[in-house]
Amino acid sequence: MSTSASTAQVSTNNLDAFWMPFTANRQFKQSPRMFVGAKDMHYTTSDGRQVLDGTAGLWCCNAGHCRPKIVEAVQAQVAEMDYAPAFQMGHPKAFELAARLSALMPSPLDHVFFTGSGSESVDTALKIALAYQRAIGQGTRTRLIGRERGYHGVGFGGISVGGIVNNRKTFGTMLTGVDHMRHTHDPARNAFSRGMPENGAEYAEDLIRIIQLHDPSTIAAVIVEPVAGSTGVLIPPKHYLERLREICDQHGILLIFDEVITGFGRLGTPFAVDYFGVTPDLVTTAKGLTSGVIPMGAVFCTKAIYDAFMHGPEHLIELFHGYTYSAHPIACAAALATLDTYEEEGLLTRAADIAQHWEDGLHSLKDCPNVIDIRNLGLIGAVELDPIAGEPTKRAFSAFLKAYDDGILIRTTGDIIALSPPLIISKDQIDELFGKLRTVLMTID
Ligand SMILES: Cc1ncc(COP(=O)(O)O)c(C=O)c1O
């Protein structure tokens, strides 16, 4: 579609019917921001401008946009077989993809359950954890533990273990039997840390407080994001995740890493599991699995968990769970081509090569007005702004609007600017991103 045609279409559209997700609908509809095309590191707007993608869409387009191999794979698959049920039936690409993913993930996380999104992956992992405890005779373990400021999508499971107040407060009592560890954010000691903060491993001990309150025999699993993203990028303190693992092991509690944003190269390793050298029992993924091209998620679990279900008469279903779109053929084709692209271009480790340049550029913004913290790891960055008194989120939102006008896509949560570009970003584009962000920060109130 030509840009002028898209512009015409946009201007004649009625914007009213679409209730936009996680959006200030009234503000948007007064002053719409429309993307009509994308290629590699850029979006094209409806008024024909190029916008540098500083967020990989929503942390998902890790290979960049409209990459040829993925486009071709999707086109070919939709013509060859559009859909096949995954209940009691299979198709070869689902098994091929699961095998390739399991080879990519450190052992013993070698079984894969497919879902349609990050939220579904989280629900799936929580359900597998509960069902596993029951399968091994630990049916009293029904509690799930999350963490303050955690984001695990928007299903009832995810918001229950999640810890972002606005995502929870209007939705009733959610799942019962859930508790939360404290978050790890400690700006008094860790502001402007480069990489993992030095202070805060002891926040893992908060899990012990919760275990003592409820008794370990009631707790099935703990879920955390290894790097918390949507809350505004909280990097785990050194030794924190190792300590969580130890405590879970001591008490028979499963550890779930939600790698929906850290999976597929974001930290310069295929998964955060590799980066931190901590192996959980279950890992949730989505987003980068297909580079955002087709919705898909995958939950990894250990052989021990899988095997615990493989009992009883062989004609019986072992786990009463799954989605119409689990292992959707087009998603599988997209994911296989995405893995090919990652491998051919070394993208799952590329962030490690440019992380220092990224870190230096990001931290060069320290002297800009209202900047109260800067955080980074791999190809993730955050700039936290001092909120305007009485008007929280407004300053960062102004930055977002100005950035869009100036040709860069950033993302904001509260008064925090979060950055997570496609893994193909060049050093020049990193410089452009931070150069323009500097101008934005110097301009807004
Ligand atoms: C850590 C984490 N978990 C789960 C999700 C939910 O993923 P989705 O929006 O695909 O349901 C997200 C989305 O940002 C996420 O960051």
Identify the CA nearest to 55 among candidates 428, 380, 374, 413.
380
Identify the CA nearest to 402 among candidates 368, 443, 364.
443
Q: What is the pLDDT of residues 293-324, one digit of tens each?
A: 999 999 999 999 999 999 999 999 999 999 99
The CA-atom distances, in angstroms, between 359 and each of 213, 366, 374, 437 are: 41, 12, 10, 14
- What whole-number distance in Å separates Cα of residue 417 and Cα of residue 411? 6
Joined together, the tokens standing for residue 53 give 């993608």
Tell me whether residue 312 is exposed, middle or buried, using C-beta atoms within 10 angstroms of its C-beta: 0 to 12, 13 to 18, 19 or more. exposed
- In the chain, which residues fall in CATH 3.90.1150.10? 3-54+347-443
User: What atom in ligand 1 is closest to the CA of residue 230?
Assistant: 16
Joined together, the tokens standing for residue 28 give 């948007």
- What whole-number distance in Å separates Cα of residue 118 and Cα of residue 122? 6
CA of 150 to the centre of ligand 1 (A): 11
CB 441 within 8 A of CB 368: yes
Mutate to test the pocket of ligand 1, among 22, 151, 225, 233 (most ligand atoms within 8 A of CB): 151
Q: Degrees (nearest 5) of the Cα angle 179, 382, 286?
A: 60
Joined together, the tokens standing for residue 348 give 């799952």
Percent helix, strand and coil across the chain, each to the nearest 5: 45, 15, 40
Q: What is the pLDDT of residues 169-228, one digit of tens each?
A: 999 999 999 999 999 999 999 999 999 999 999 999 999 999 999 999 999 999 999 999
CB 103 within 8 A of CB 276: no
What is the pLDDT confidence band of residue 13, given thresholds at 50, 70 and 90?
A: confident
CA of 262 to the centre of ligand 1 (A): 11
- What whole-number distance in Å separates Cα of residue 372 and Cα of residue 416? 10
User: What atom in ligand 1 is closest to the CA of residue 262?
Assistant: 1
Residue burial 391-426, b: 16+ Cβ < 10 Å; e: rest: eebebbbbbbbbbbebbbbbbbbbbbbbbbbbbbbe
CA of 121 to the centre of ligand 1 (A): 9
**Average pLDDT for 30-52:** 97
Q: What is the pLDDT of residues 215-237, one digit of tens each?
A: 999 999 999 999 999 999 999 99
Count of CB atoms situated within 10 Å of the CB of 389:
6
**How are beta strands 380-385 and 371-377 bridged, if at all?**
antiparallel
If you classify domain 3-54+347-443 with CATH, what class do you get? alpha beta
In the DSSP assignment, the letter for residue 13 is: S
What is the rounded average pLDDT for all residues in the chain? Answer: 96
- What whole-number distance in Å separates Cα of residue 85 and Cα of residue 108? 28
Tell me whether residue 171 is exposed, middle or buried, using C-beta atoms within 10 angstroms of its C-beta: 0 to 12, 13 to 18, 19 or more. exposed
Beta bridge partners of 377: 380
Count of CB atoms situated within 10 Å of the CB of 168:
14
Mutate to test the pocket of ligand 1, among 123, 152, 225, 257 (most ligand atoms within 8 A of CB): 152
User: What atom in ligand 1 is closest to the CA of residue 225?
Assistant: 1
In sequence order, which residues have a C-beta less than 8 Å from that of residue 346 and are 6 or more positions away? none
Pocket around ligand 1 at a 6 A CB cut-off: 117-119, 122, 151-153, 225, 229-230, 258, 260-261, 286
Beta strands in 336-421 (DSSP E): 371-377, 380-385, 408-409, 411-413, 416-419
**Average pLDDT for 125-132:** 98
Mutate to test the pocket of ligand 1, among 119, 161, 164, 325 (most ligand atoms within 8 A of CB): 119
In which residue are the tokens 């999976």 written? 263
Residue nearest to atom 12 of ligand 1 (CA): 153
- In the chain, which residues fall in CATH 3.40.640.10? 71-345
**Average pLDDT for 31-58:** 98
Q: Would you say residue 120 has pLDDT above 60?
A: yes
Residue nearest to atom 13 of ligand 1 (CA): 153
Identify the CA nearest to 407 among candidates 77, 49, 3, 164.
49
Joined together, the tokens standing for residue 300 give 């990894």
CA of 4 to the centre of ligand 1 (A): 34
CA of 260 to the centre of ligand 1 (A): 6
The CA-atom distances, in angstroms, between 222 and each of 75, 138, 164, 210, 437 are: 40, 15, 17, 11, 37
Mutate to test the pocket of ligand 1, among 260, 284, 325 (most ligand atoms within 8 A of CB): 260
Q: What is the pLDDT of residues 344-369, one digit of tens each?
A: 999 999 999 999 999 999 999 999 99
Joined together, the tokens standing for residue 252 give 């028979």
Q: Would you say residue 371 has pLDDT above 50?
A: yes
In percent, the amount of the chain with pLDDT more than 70 equals 97
CA of 327 to the centre of ligand 1 (A): 18
User: What atom in ligand 1 is closest to the CA of residue 118?
Assistant: 7
pTM exceeding the 0.95 threshold for the entire prediction: yes
CA of 6 to the centre of ligand 1 (A): 30
**Average pLDDT for 271-278:** 98
Joined together, the tokens standing for residue 75 give 């086109």
CB 445 within 8 A of CB 398: yes
Architecture of domain 71-345: 3-Layer(aba) Sandwich (3.40)
User: What atom in ligand 1 is closest to the CA of residue 155?
Assistant: 11
CA of 154 to the centre of ligand 1 (A): 8
CA of 362 to the centre of ligand 1 (A): 24
Q: What is the pLDDT of residues 393-414, one digit of tens each?
A: 999 999 999 999 999 999 999 9
User: What atom in ligand 1 is closest to the CA of residue 284?
Assistant: 3
Mutate to test the pocket of ligand 1, among 149, 183, 230 (most ligand atoms within 8 A of CB): 230
